[in-house]
Amino acid sequence: MTLLDRSIAYLNELSSGIVGKLSTSLIILLVGFVLGRLAGRLLGRMLHEVELDNILQKTGFKMPIEHTLATLAAYLIYFIAIIMALNQLGLTTAALYIIVGGAVVMIIIATALGIKDFIPNMIAGIFIYRQGIIKENQRMIIKNVEGKVKKISIIETELETKNGDIILVPNSLIIKSTVIVKKGKNEK
């Protein structure tokens, strides 16, 4: 057997192994995505039949959870299929590091975006509470909105307008804006 024949045989063996692994990983992905979609729909229907959202609303939980759980189950199966396909190609470890790193970055970004308004409102709420600037049942005008203070929390102040509408004003806005606190007839 000549060197050329051996090289061709080696390339054929190498390409059949790569093609086999690639086709197997594609089949795993296809089956995983089909199973994930079916499982998500099935779980969604089962939770809807049980009326999980209605049960949770009676306990005071306001968020719809049926669709969220069904979607989460589908994505979990998608994730498992992707890991199995990468394992078939021999890329599991590197891919897991990338996926975990991406997830950590996403969690950090989501947390930062979630608390970017919370912290200033909380600090302003503490300031309002300690200084006693605003009290419940006072009338006030802020940003051309007039209302009666119904509730002051650490994050927001609740105003009720003359029409009975409830307006939630972030405490940081109260600190940053010009606020007119109206005194009642009996107050001096």
End-to-end CA distance of the chain: 110
Q: What is the CA radius of gyration of the chain?
A: 30
- What is the pLDDT, as a whole number, of residue 33? 93
Residue 65 corresponds to which tokens in the numbers above? 């959870």
**In this predicted structure, what is the pLDDT of residue 35?**
93
Pair of tokens at residue 82:
């992707």
Kindly list the averaged pLDDT for each block of 10 residues, start to end, along the chain of length 188.
67 64 84 92 88 77 81 90 82 75 88 83 86 85 88 88 90 84 61
Alpha-carbon distance 37 to 14, whole Å? 35
pTM attached to this predicted model? 0.47
Q: Beta partners for 59?
A: none
Q: Are the C-beta atoms of residues 162 and 156 closer than 8 Å to each other?
A: no
CA 64, distance to chain mean position in Å, is 14
Cβ 86 vs Cβ 92: under 8 Å: yes
Fold of 120-182: SH3 type barrels. (2.30.30)
Quote the tokens at residue 57.
């609303």
Q: What is the pLDDT of residue 187?
A: 47
Domain residue ranges in the chain? 3-90, 120-182
Round to whole Å and give the CA distance between 101 and 95: 10
Which residues, at least 6 apart from 139, have a Cβ–Cβ distance to it below 8 Å? 146, 147, 148, 149, 181, 182, 184
Asked if 63 contacts 45 with a C-beta cutoff of 8 angstroms, the reply is no
